[in-house]
Amino acid sequence: MQKIKDFITDGRNTKYFIFAALVIVYFWRLGMHPLMTPDEGRYADIPRIMIEQGDYITPKLNYVLYFEKPVLHYWLTAASFQVFGQTGFGARFFPVVLGLLGVFITWLFARRFYDEDTANISAVALGTSILYFAISRINITDMTLSFFMTLSLFSFYFYFRDNKKIWIYIFYAALALSVLAKGLIGIVLPAGIIFWFMVLTRRWDIIKKLLNLPAILLFFVICVPWFYVVSMRNPDFFYFFFVQEHFLRYATKMHGRYEAWWFFIPVAICGFFPWIAQFLAALKDMLTRREEILYLTIWAVVVLVFFSISSSKLIPYIIPFFPPLAIVTGRNIKERLSSGKGFIFFNTFNTFIAVALVVAAFLIFGKVIPIKKLDDVMLYKPLIIRLIVLTFAFAAMGWMLIKNKRRWLISHGVYAFLLLALASPGFMIIGSERSTKPTIDKMMKYVNPQDIIVVYRTYDQDIAHYFNRRIVITRWENELWFGNSRDLDSGFFYKEEDEPKLLDRELAPDQKMYFMVWHNRRPVFEEIFGQHTRYIEAGKEKGYHIYVRK
């Protein structure tokens, strides 16, 4: 018992408790909620088809060509499916693992250039920041990119400072995997960060350091083979992937994801909750000329500016911004622990957040101010109330511990972990609202493997995954337009004028045709197909309604 007590009380073992807690919170109930559409459904269906067809080169979505992303994330998910099965846990396993590894390499960097206390604080700040945690638990490509980009940038700086050759090989390998994760962004962002670091420090010898031919060769050996093979098999790949999905996507509004230039500023700040006050206090540290702080600052600024300029903006894009932010924040907190600087600003800010949450809840739940989709917001009411109570409790505790800064920090860390635990049920709510699985579970009671499933004038990406078959789609293309345009005669895509042909499509004696019709499209559907179909049931009243062809 004494040995256990000594282990627990030994400050050198704090890191083990931090990472054990992160592993538990990140994996807690990971597979309990269904895949969220469209993203999780899409990134689960592609590797499912790879496994089914044995083709790990050409990505396919609903069995048509899909070239918007490279292949690494699909390979990882396919490997996870082979081990854990085609489940929510299997789909999300690698994003969680890579998210945790991102925290670990951030810890390594902070320990190397500061001390273990700073590393521990940085790890907790990154691992418990609400957006980083959320993206780690969703099956999308952004955490895969963020991890390998973070690894490449930390490896570069280790090589720059220590001149150990192992780091230049890790740098180029991670760079190659970043490209395989999400394309040229995996090399453009690190290159931009290193370029501005070189310019501002006037360290022109960086160019010579990076010209390591064996390491560069390693980059090409890892990165090029898949791009070469997929291009040989699919001549249209090069233009679609490199021109349309990179240059045109970045420079134009073709995907309808345009937001104001300042969009990512509030996203980045709010996404770092509950460490916003600590980050704001650390902002002035980013102006220092200390070399590693300058590097981290350039990293954060380049990521923020690059995506702010882009015409295509989605919240997960900003994830690579958080690792350098966590280290700068961790260093500032450690300095406050070691100096006479107090935590009054932190307490004041946390109290303000608690009060603001109460006021916002009163205005929204009391219907004092009108908001869109109030019914959806009300689903989270119990969760929000618990969040407010938790925030108020720890804000009050912060004032009680104001004179003991180390205990204050422990208290805030506990609050951050409890916040993640409290947020986890939110995934269940989102999953049930943004998934077709409940509807498909109902349908699987009477749908047979040979039956045809038609989704009428819309499409959710998890439908094919849960039915484990190709889905017929009418008058909807969106991101499937490229694949559908190469597969026009398959009988799985019908333009509006061709929809009546579904009634003439020959069925086998034991085969049926089921229609999934979104609730607001029922009037149009019944006008065309009403006499030829029979209504069965509704998955949800404001969701899909099921018909069968007579």
pLDDT reading at 309 higher than 60: yes
pLDDT digits (tens, 9 = 90+) for 17-65: 999 999 999 999 999 999 998 899 999 999 999 999 999 999 999 999 9
Lowest mean pLDDT among 118-122, 339-343, 478-482, 507-511: 339-343
Q: Phi first, then psi: what are they for 504, rounded to 5°?
A: -95, -5
Structural domain including 228 reads 12-341
Judge if 444 and 317 occupy the same domain: no
Judge if 258 and 278 occupy the same domain: yes
| pLDDT number for residue 490 | 72
Lowest mean pLDDT among 63-72, 200-209, 309-318, 509-518: 309-318
Query: Where are the strands (E) in 345-449, listed by range?
Result: none
Judge if 455 and 410 occupy the same domain: no
Cα dist from 92 to 75, 78, 190, 317, 395, whole Å: 13, 11, 26, 18, 33
Measured CA to CA, the distance from residue 547 to residue 550 in angstroms comes to 9
Residue 108: how many CB atoms within 10 A of its CB? 14
Nearest C-alpha neighbor of 35 from the set 26, 22, 45, 23: 45
pLDDT reading at 235 higher than 80: yes
Cα dist from 362 to 247, 416, 549, whole Å: 45, 24, 49
Q: What is the mean pLDDT of residues 74-99?
A: 97
Under DSSP, is residue 310 helix (H, G, I), strand (E, B) or coil? coil
Tell me whether residue 2 is in a domain. Answer: no
pLDDT digits (tens, 9 = 90+) for 401-421: 988 888 999 999 999 999 999
| pLDDT number for residue 480 | 87
pLDDT reading at 341 higher than 90: no
Average pLDDT value over all residues in the chain: 90
Tell me whether residue 187 is in a domain. Answer: yes
Judge if 272 and 417 occupy the same domain: no
Last residue of a domain, one of 309, 325, 341: 341
Last residue of a domain, one of 432, 462, 491: 432
Judge if 164 and 200 occupy the same domain: yes
pLDDT reading at 250 higher than 80: no
| pLDDT number for residue 251 | 59
Judge if 182 and 321 occupy the same domain: yes
Joined tokens for residue 360? 């916002």
Q: End-to-end alpha-carbon separation of the chain, Å? A: 73
Judge if 128 and 170 occupy the same domain: yes
Residue 296: how many CB atoms within 10 A of its CB? 27
pLDDT reading at 517 higher than 70: yes
Residue 3: pLDDT band with limits 50, 70, 90 = low
Instruction: Using the structure block, give the residue that is written with the tokens 């029979």.
Output: 534
Judge if 423 and 544 occupy the same domain: no
Most confident of 12-21, 71-80, 431-440: 71-80
What is the reported pTM?
Answer: 0.94
Nearest C-alpha neighbor of 259 from the set 182, 315, 320: 315
Lowest mean pLDDT among 234-243, 291-300, 415-424, 506-515: 234-243
Q: What is the mean pLDDT of residues 518-542?
A: 90
Measured CA to CA, the distance from residue 194 to residue 203 in angstroms comes to 10
Helices (H), 183-321: 185-201, 205-210, 213-233, 237-238, 249-251, 264-271, 276-282, 291-309
Judge if 464 and 413 occupy the same domain: no
pLDDT reading at 6 higher than 60: no
Tell me whether residue 404 is in a domain. Answer: yes
Judge if 364 and 249 occupy the same domain: no
Cα 127 to chain centroid distance, Å, stands at: 14
Number of domains in the chain: 3
Residue 343: pLDDT band with limits 50, 70, 90 = confident
Cα dist from 513 to 504, 532, 537, 550, whole Å: 11, 11, 15, 9
Judge if 151 and 92 occupy the same domain: yes
